[in-house]
Structure 1
C-alpha cells in the first residue's frame, strides 16, 4: 500500500472514501440479515413470555381436574374435639359424648442417688439382658455391660433399641426422697440381724446421714454406728462401725431397699470390722428416676420388661424379679380392666400413667379406640379428641359433629384459575398489539387461535346438566374488556344445593381446557419457538459468512485502488518528465 497517506494515495486519489462507498452497497444484504436477527430474537422472547403465562394458567386448570365434592366437618365445641372431612364423607350430624382420652402408659423406677449410679450387679457376670416389648410389637433385647451400667447408660441403650417407648432420667430433687419403697437397711451386728427403717421424708445429705445413724443405733445400740455425707467433695455416704463387734450390711438382701438412693451397689453384703468404715460405691447428689413412656396410646401398647441376670433365659422368677440389681426394671403386671391400674404380676416399676383406650359415645353407642385420632366412627371423617367430659358417667355433655358440603377449596382453585387466565390474556393481547402499535406476534396464527379458544370458555357448554353447564352459573364471567372475574357467592349458593352438578361441570371444563393447553405448552408454542431459534442460527451463520466475505472484498478493493494509485502516480511522474523535456526542446529551438 505504498504511496497511500491517510485516506489518499500519492496521486491524490481518496482511496478510503471510494472503498467505503463501494462497501456500503456491498453491505446492504448484511443489514437485511441483522434486521431479521432482531426480529427472530424478539419472537423467541415473545414466545417465552407466552409459554410462561400459558403454563401458569394450565397449572391452575390442572388443579381443577378431577375435583370432588368438598366436605367440611365442624365441632360444636372445639375444646372437646375437632374434626376434618374427606371427600368420601356424607352430609349429616352425629351426637358425641367423650368420656376419656386415650393415654400412653408411663412407668418409673425406684429412686437412685445419681445419674451415674450402677443399675445391674455385674460382680459375677460380665453382662445381663433386658427384653422390652410394647403391646404386640417386636421384642427388643438389650445387653447391659460395664459400658452401659449406669442409669444414664441404661436410658441411652433403651432409646437406641427402638422398642416403641422413650426413656428419660428425671431428677426429682437435689435432696434425697425416702418413702416406703426405699426406706430399709438390713444388717448383722454381733451375730444378730436387724432392719433399720428410715422415716419417709425428703432429706439433705446431712439430714439423711443423721436419720440413718439414729435408726441403726435404735436397733444395735446407741453409738454403734455413725453415718456421714460429704457434700463438698466425695458426695458419698459412709457408715462407720464404732462398736466392738464386726457388722455386715446386707445390700443384696431383698429386705434392703435403700441401697440405690444411698449409692451402694446391690451385691451380697459388705463386712465392716470394728472401727472401720463402709463407703458407697457411687457418688450421690439427689433423687433420680428412670421413666419409660410408650410412644403410642391405648391398652394395646402397654410396656413389658423381662430381665435375664444369669444369662440362662428370662425366667421371671427368683433373682430376676427380686428388685435387686437389674431386676428393679422387671415389669409384667396384670391390670384392672376399667382403670388400667396394675393389680398383680411383676411390677418392680411404678405406673404413673395408665395406658388406656379412648372412651366415647356416638349417637348413644359406646366405643373404645386406642388413639385420640379416630377415623372409623363416621365415614370419611377424622375426629381428634381434645378433652374428656368429667360428667360423662352422670350428666354427659352432648356434642355435635356436623358434616356439610364445602365450596371453599373449589372457590380457591377457581380464583387461581381466573388470575392465571387474566395473566395469560394480558400477555396475548400485548403480543398481538393494537391499531396504534403492532405487537411482536401480530398476525401469528398460533397466538390468534389460542386467544380465540380462551375467549370462548365462558360461553362453551360443559358437563351433562341442562342448567349447570356454563361457567357463568358458578360466577365466572367476562366483562366488556374481556377480563375474567369470579363471584364466589354464586358458587357457594349453588354448591350448597347442587354440588354434584357443579363438580361435574367444573371437571368437564378443566379436562377440556387442560387438554387444549397441554398441546400449546408441550407442542405448539415450543415448536414455534424452536423454529425461530433455528432461523436465528441460520441468519447468524449467514451473517458470519457474509462478514467474512465482505472483509475479504474490502481488502481486495483496497489493494486494487492502491495499485491504481501507484500507477497513476508513476504516469504523473512520466508526464512531468516529458513536459520538462519538451520545455527544454522549446528553449533550444526557440533560441535559434
Structure 2
C-alpha cells in the first residue's frame, strides 16, 4: 500500500501500519500462547474442584469405628402414631415392644379465679417476694426467689386490682434472674479458706483470707467477675457490706458450697441451687369466664422430678395469698366451682406426671415422652396412650441400608463427574482437541480411576467382597461407574454389612487406597496446583514480554514518526526555495 509521506495523514497511516504489522508478527503469537495457558489454568482449576468432590465422598466412606457410615442404624415403628423411634450408629440391632399407658405431663398449678376489676387486699407499695421450689430432674431441687415491685402507678385510689396484680406476678416470673444476696456484715473475718461457685454444673474455686469483711468481699467479687456468666458486686449500706451474685444466663443455676472456712455461714448463704423462675416455670393469666382473671403456673419440663414442690410468700399477707397460691409444701388439688370461688391447687396428682409404659412387658417410668436412656443408641417418642384393644408397638432396629447406599451413590456421582471431565477434556477428534489432550498428569489420573474401578483389592481374598463389581457396581470406559442392580446392592449391604464396610474403610480398602492416590493431585502442594503455579509463572513472563515488546514497537514508531516529520519539513523547505528561485528567474 502506497502512503503520501508528504502529508501528516500519510505519515500517521504509515506509522499505524507499522505498529499493526509488528504486533501481528511479535505479539500475536504471545497472545495465542497466553490464551492457551489461561484455558489450561481454568481447566486445571475445574479439575481440582472435581477431585476435591471425590475426596469428600471418599472421606465419608473411609471413616472407621464409631464414625463409620456403615454403622448407621435405622429404627422402624409398627405404628408411629403411637410411638416413633430413631436410632444412632451405636444402637444394637434387635426388636422390642412398647405399650404406653400414660404420657408425661408438666406440673400445673391454678389459682383462685378472681373478678378482673375487683380490688385485692394489697394496699401498700414496695417489693414483695415469694419462693418457688421445683425439682431439678435428678432428685434434688432448685429455689427461685421472685421479687414483685408494686409502684404508685399500679394503684388506683390506693387499691390495686386483681388483673393488675396477676400481670405483675406473671411478668416478675418471666423477668426473674437467679440471684444470691448475703446478709449484711461488718467487722473482721478471722478465718481463711475457700468455697466453690457452681454455675450450671461448672464449679470454680474461690479463695479468701482473713481481713475486714470489706476487703474480703472485694477480693471475692474480683474472682467471681472473672467467671464468664456471673456478675458479682459488693453492696454497702450504713457501713455494712453485702455480697450479691447474679447468673447472667437465666437457664443456669448458681450455688455456693463446700466452704472450708466460715465465710458462707457468716454471710448467711445456704448451699441451695438458685435458678431463675423463668427457667423452670411459665406463668400466664387467663379468663375462664368473661370478667375474671386466673393465674396458671406450669413446669417447663414434664415429669415428677421437675414438679412444683413448694410455693410460698416470704412474708405474711403476700401476693400469692391473694390468689390462694401460698400453699407451701401442700399439694392440694385444683377444684373448679361454677357457682362460686375455685379452690386453688394442682391439676395433676404427682403419680400422673411421669410417662408410664411397658417395655417388653416390664413397667417403666420416665419424666419425658422423649426417651433416650432406655435402649442404647435409640430415642423413643411416646405420642399417644394405648386403648385396651390396641396392639403393642414393635420397634425394629437394624442397618440403615438407604443411608449407606446414598453415601455409595454420592461416591459414584463424584467419581463420574471427575472421570467424565477428564475424558471430555483429554480427548481429540478431527474437529476438536480437548484442552488437556496430551497432558501426562491428567492421563495418569484417568488411569488411576479406571484401574481402581475394575481391579480387585490387593490383600483381599476372592471369597469376600474385594471389588466394586461384587457389589453390583460396574464400570464403563465411556460413562464411568453405575449400579447395575440396585436391589442386589441393597441386599449385600443388609446381609454382608461387615464385608461391605471392610471393603471400603479398611486401611487397605477401596476408599483409603483411592483417596491416597488422588490426594497427590490435590492440595496446595499437589500435582495440579504445581501445574497451575507453573502456568501462572509462564503467564507472568508472557505478560512481561508483551509489555516490553509493545514499548519497543511504540518507541520505534515514534522514532520513525520523527524522522518522516523531519523529511517532510526539509522537503517543504526545498519546495519553498524552488518557488523563490523560479519567481526570481521568471
Match of 2:72 in 1: 70
TM superposition shift of 1:471: 1.6
2: CA distance, partners of 1:145 / 1:19 = 94
1: CA distance, partners of 2:283 / 2:173 = 7
Is 1:164–2:311 an aligned residue pair?
no
Aligned match for 1:435, one of 424, 429, 435: 429
Match of 1:127 in 2: 127
Is 1:513–2:514 an aligned residue pair?
yes
Instruction: List aligned pairs for 1:36-55, cutoff 5 A.
Output: 36-55=33-52
Instruction: List aligned pairs for 1:94-243, cutoff 5 A.
Output: 94-114=96-116, 121-124=121-124, 126-136=126-136, 137-147=141-151, 150-161=165-176, 162-174=278-290
Which has the higher mean CA deviation after the structures are superposed, 460-469 or 351-360? 460-469
Specify the SS of the correspondent of 1:89.
Answer: coil
**Contact conserved, 2:97 with 2:395, CA < 8 A, in 1?**
yes
Aligned match for 1:366, one of 352, 363, 368: 363
**Contact conserved, 2:324 with 2:344, CA < 8 A, in 1?**
no
1: CA distance, partners of 2:299 / 2:453 = 58
Is 1:385–2:382 an aligned residue pair?
yes
- Provide closer, same or farther for how the CA distance between residues 350 and 334 of structure 1 changes in structure 2, counting only shifts above 3 A: closer
Instruction: List aligned pairs for 1:179-578, cutoff 5 A.
Output: 286-310=291-315, 324-325=321-322, 328-334=325-331, 349-354=344-349, 356-391=353-388, 397-436=391-430, 437-462=432-457, 464=460, 466=462, 467-486=464-483, 487-507=485-505, 508-522=509-523, 523-567=526-570
- Provide closer, same or farther for how the CA distance between residues 13 and 464 of structure 1 changes in structure 2, counting only shifts above 3 A: closer
2: CA distance, partners of 1:118 / 1:503 = 74
Specify the SS of the correspondent of 2:544.
Answer: helix
TM superposition shift of 1:36: 1.6
1: CA distance, partners of 2:470 / 2:511 = 15
- Provide closer, same or farther for how the CA distance between residues 503 and 452 of structure 1 changes in structure 2, counting only shifts above 3 A: same
Q: Deviations over 1:406-449 (max 9, x none)?
A: 21101111222222222222221222132332111212222112
Structure 2: unaligned runs, 5 residues or longer: 64-68, 155-163, 177-277, 336-341
- Provide closer, same or farther for how the CA distance between residues 23 and 376 of structure 1 changes in structure 2, counting only shifts above 3 A: closer
TM superposition shift of 1:468: 0.9
Is 1:9–2:9 an aligned residue pair?
no
TM superposition shift of 1:458: 1.8
Across the aligned residues of Structure 1 and Structure 2, the Cα RMSD in angstroms comes to 3.4
Which has the higher mean CA deviation after the structures are superposed, 523-532 or 401-410? 523-532
TM superposition shift of 1:291: 0.9
Specify the SS of the correspondent of 1:306.
Answer: strand
1: CA distance, partners of 2:544 / 2:118 = 84
Specify the SS of the correspondent of 1:520.
Answer: coil
- Provide closer, same or farther for how the CA distance between residues 42 and 156 of structure 1 changes in structure 2, counting only shifts above 3 A: same
**Contact conserved, 2:135 with 2:308, CA < 8 A, in 1?**
yes
Q: Deviations over 1:219-276 (max 9, x none)?
A: xxxxxxxxxxxxxxxxxxxxxxxxxxxxxxxxxxxxxxxxxxxxxxxxxxxxxxxxxx
TM superposition shift of 1:569: 5.7
TM superposition shift of 1:564: 3.5
**Contact conserved, 1:75 with 1:82, CA < 8 A, in 2?**
yes
TM superposition shift of 1:365: 2.0
**Contact conserved, 2:281 with 2:300, CA < 8 A, in 1?**
yes
TM superposition shift of 1:143: 0.8
1: CA distance, partners of 2:363 / 2:19 = 100
**Contact conserved, 2:131 with 2:146, CA < 8 A, in 1?**
yes
TM superposition shift of 1:465: 5.9
TM superposition shift of 1:479: 2.4
Specify the SS of the correspondent of 1:333.
Answer: coil
**Contact conserved, 1:64 with 1:410, CA < 8 A, in 2?**
no
**Contact conserved, 2:131 with 2:314, CA < 8 A, in 1?**
no
**Contact conserved, 1:129 with 1:307, CA < 8 A, in 2?**
no
TM superposition shift of 1:529: 2.1
TM superposition shift of 1:108: 0.8
- Provide closer, same or farther for how the CA distance between residues 465 and 79 of structure 1 changes in structure 2, counting only shifts above 3 A: farther
**Contact conserved, 2:112 with 2:324, CA < 8 A, in 1?**
no
TM superposition shift of 1:287: 2.1
Structure 1: unaligned runs, 5 residues or longer: 1-5, 175-285, 311-317, 336-340, 585-592
**Contact conserved, 1:8 with 1:14, CA < 8 A, in 2?**
yes
- Provide closer, same or farther for how the CA distance between residues 7 and 330 of structure 1 changes in structure 2, counting only shifts above 3 A: farther
- Provide closer, same or farther for how the CA distance between residues 566 and 385 of structure 1 changes in structure 2, counting only shifts above 3 A: same
**Contact conserved, 1:72 with 1:406, CA < 8 A, in 2?**
yes
- Provide closer, same or farther for how the CA distance between residues 118 and 152 of structure 1 changes in structure 2, counting only shifts above 3 A: farther
TM superposition shift of 1:562: 2.9
TM superposition shift of 1:146: 0.9
Which has the higher mean CA deviation after the structures are superposed, 293-302 or 554-563? 554-563
- Provide closer, same or farther for how the CA distance between residues 565 and 76 of structure 1 changes in structure 2, counting only shifts above 3 A: same
